[in-house]
Amino acid sequence: LFWDKINKESKTKGGDRLNIGIILAAGEGKRMKSRHPKVLHKICGKPMISYVLEEATNANIEKKVVVVGHKKEELIAYLKETDSIIKEQPTGTNDPYGTAFAVMQAIDEVEDNDNVIILCADTPLITSLSLRNLIEYHKNTNSIATVLTTILEDPTGYGRIIRKSNGDLLKIVEQKDASEDERKVNEINSGIYCFNGKALKDSIKKIDNNNVQNEYYLTDAIEILNSLGLRVSAYKIDDFEEIIGVNSREQLAYASKIMQKRINRYHLDNGVTIVDPDSTYIEPNVSIGYDTIIFPGAEIERGSRIGENCIIRGITRISNSIIGDNCEIESTLIESSIVGNNCHIGPFAHLRPNCRLEDNVKIGNFVEIKNSSIGENSKAAHLSYVGDAEVGKNVNIGCGVVFVNYDGKNKYRSIVKDNAFIGSNSNLVAPVIVEEYGYIAAGSTITENVNEGDLSIARARQVNIQGWVKKKGLIKHK
C-alpha cells in the first residue's frame, strides 16, 4: 500500500518530509463590510495574514503558498514583498467556491511525500508552537490527515468535530449542515490541518458541493479519507484563543484584544510595569527595558525601542523611535526620532520625524521639533518651534522661540552652537548661525549670524510717551 510505504519511508528518513503551507485568503470576507481584503486588516498594526506567514515560518514551514481571490490586487501587492508563492482562485459569479476549491488552486505545488499544512489567513492568533505540535502529532500517530481542534463554550459558526463512539475522528460538519445534536458539540474545527500530500491530492478530487451552501468544503476530506480506511486524527489544544477566526469587525476587535494581551504579558514578564494593560497599546517588535513604567494611554508602535527605567504617561504615542534610559515622557507624540538618556519630554510636545536628542535634554510644554538635533543639557521648555536646526550643548531656547525655516518656497537650516542663549519670543530666520556663547535678547528677530560671545538685540527700541493716555481723554474714573 502506498500509505504504508510513505509512513515507513518517513520513519526511516527520520520523518524529514518537506513541510508546505497552503494559506487560504481568497474568501469574500463579506461580513467585514470593507473595500480592502479581509486578511490585510490589521491587528496591533500588522496585517492578519503576516502573523500567519511568520508563525508558519517559525514552525519550519518554509514553502508557503497563498491562495488569493476576492480583492486580490491589494493582497498580491502586499504578498509580493513576502517570500510566499501566490496562486489565484477564480472568483467569477459562476465559479465554484469553498475551502476545498481554494486548496485546489495550490495543489500543483504539493508533492506526494509533503506534509501539507493548511492555514487560514483569517486565523491570526495561531502560534508556531501549536503548528509544530500539530505536525509532530501528525507524524507520531502516522496519520494521513490531522485536524487541529479546540473546545469552545460557544461554538456557533464553526465546523463541529464529530467523533466515533470510540473517540476517533469521524468527520467535520459545518454549522449550517449540522443536525441539532451535532450543533451541541463543543469541539470545533480550527480550519488548520496537516495532510499527507498524496492523501490531500486524492481526496480533494472527490469533494462535491452537495451541502447547504453549495460550497466545496475542505472539511469533507476527513470523511472521505476515513471511508477509505485511512488514519485521520484530531489534535486538540487547550488554548482556544489561538483558533479565533476573524470574520467580522467584532471578531477583529476581539482578536486584537487577545494579541494586545499577549504582547503586554510579554513585556510584563520582561520587567516592565504596565499599570493598566487593557489600555496600553504596544505593537509587536517593540522592545522595552527593565523597570520602565507605562501608564494608561500609551501607544508604542512600529518597532520602537524604549530603554530602562523610563516613565511614560498620558496619551503618548511613540512611533518608529528609540528612547534611551531614565527618560520621562508625558502626553507627547514622538515620530521616527532618537532620544538619549535622562531626557524629559512633554507634556504636549511633538517630535516630528528625524529628530535626535542627546542626553539630559528637556523639551517642555507645546514644543514642536522637526528634523533637528539638540545637544546635551539643552532645553526648550515652553511653546517653541525648532525646525531644520542643529542645536549644540547647554543651549537655552526661551519660551516662544521660533526657528523660521521656510520662506514660502524653500527650507533652510540654522545652527546654534554650544552654550548659546536664545531669549524668549525670538525668531531665528534661517539660514543663520549663532556661535558659541552667542546671546540673543528676548523678542529679537535674528536675520544675521551672531558672533561668539556677542549679545544680539534685534528689535525696535522702546519709546515712552509721557501722559499720552490722559491727553487722549481715555482715563474715566479719576
Q: Which residues are annotated as catalytic?
A: 382
* Among ligand UD1, Ca ion, none, residue 222 binds (CB under 5-8 Å by kind): none
Number of residues that bind ligand UD1 (CB under 6 A): 29
* Among Ca ion, ligand UD1, none, residue 99 binds (CB under 5-8 Å by kind): ligand UD1
- The residue number with the shortest CB distance to Ca ion is 245
* Residue 245 engages ligand UD1 in binding (rule: CB under 6 A): yes
* Among Ca ion, ligand UD1, none, residue 301 binds (CB under 5-8 Å by kind): none
d(CA 25, CA 300): 29
* Among Ca ion, ligand UD1, none, residue 235 binds (CB under 5-8 Å by kind): none
d(CA 23, CA 192): 9
* Among ligand UD1, Ca ion, none, residue 189 binds (CB under 5-8 Å by kind): ligand UD1
Cell of 253: 476587535
Q: Is 167 exposed, middle or buried (0-12, 13-18, 19+ CB in 10 A)?
A: exposed
By CB under 6 A, name the one of 130, 146, 196, 219 that touches ligand UD1.
Answer: 219
Q: Using CB under 6 A, which residues numbered 256 to 285 contact ligand UD1?
A: none
* Residue 169 engages ligand UD1 in binding (rule: CB under 6 A): no
Q: Is 150 left (phi over 0), alpha (psi -120 to 50) or beta?
A: beta
d(CA 105, CA 90): 9
**Helix, coil or strand: residue 187:** strand
Nearer to ligand UD1, 123 or 427 (CB): 123
d(CA 25, CA 123): 10
* Residue 223 engages ligand UD1 in binding (rule: CB under 6 A): no
8 Å CB contact between 394 and 418: yes
Instruction: Look up cell 496537516; give the residue.
Output: 194
Q: Give strand pairing partners of 319.
A: 301, 335
* Residue 158 engages ligand UD1 in binding (rule: CB under 6 A): yes
8 Å CB contact between 134 and 61: no
Cell of 240: 482556544
Nearer to Ca ion, 247 or 449 (CB): 247
By CB under 6 A, name the one of 174, 241, 283, 301 that touches ligand UD1.
Answer: 174
Cell of 5: 510505504
Q: Using CB under 6 A, which residues numbered 82 to 121 contact ligand UD1?
A: 89, 97-99, 101-102, 120-121
d(CA 143, CA 28): 32
By CB under 6 A, name the one of 50, 150, 189, 304 that touches ligand UD1.
Answer: 189
Nearer to ligand UD1, 89 or 316 (CB): 89
* Residue 204 engages ligand UD1 in binding (rule: CB under 6 A): no
Q: Which positions ≥6 away from 56 have C-beta within 8 Å?
A: 21, 23, 64, 117, 119, 128, 131
d(CA 152, CA 288): 34
Nearer to ligand UD1, 122 or 283 (CB): 122
d(CA 41, CA 19): 27
* Among ligand UD1, Ca ion, none, residue 255 binds (CB under 5-8 Å by kind): none
The footprint of ligand UD1 (CB under 6 A) covers 24-27, 67, 69, 89, 97-99, 101-102, 120-123, 158-159, 172, 174, 188-191, 217-219, 245, 247
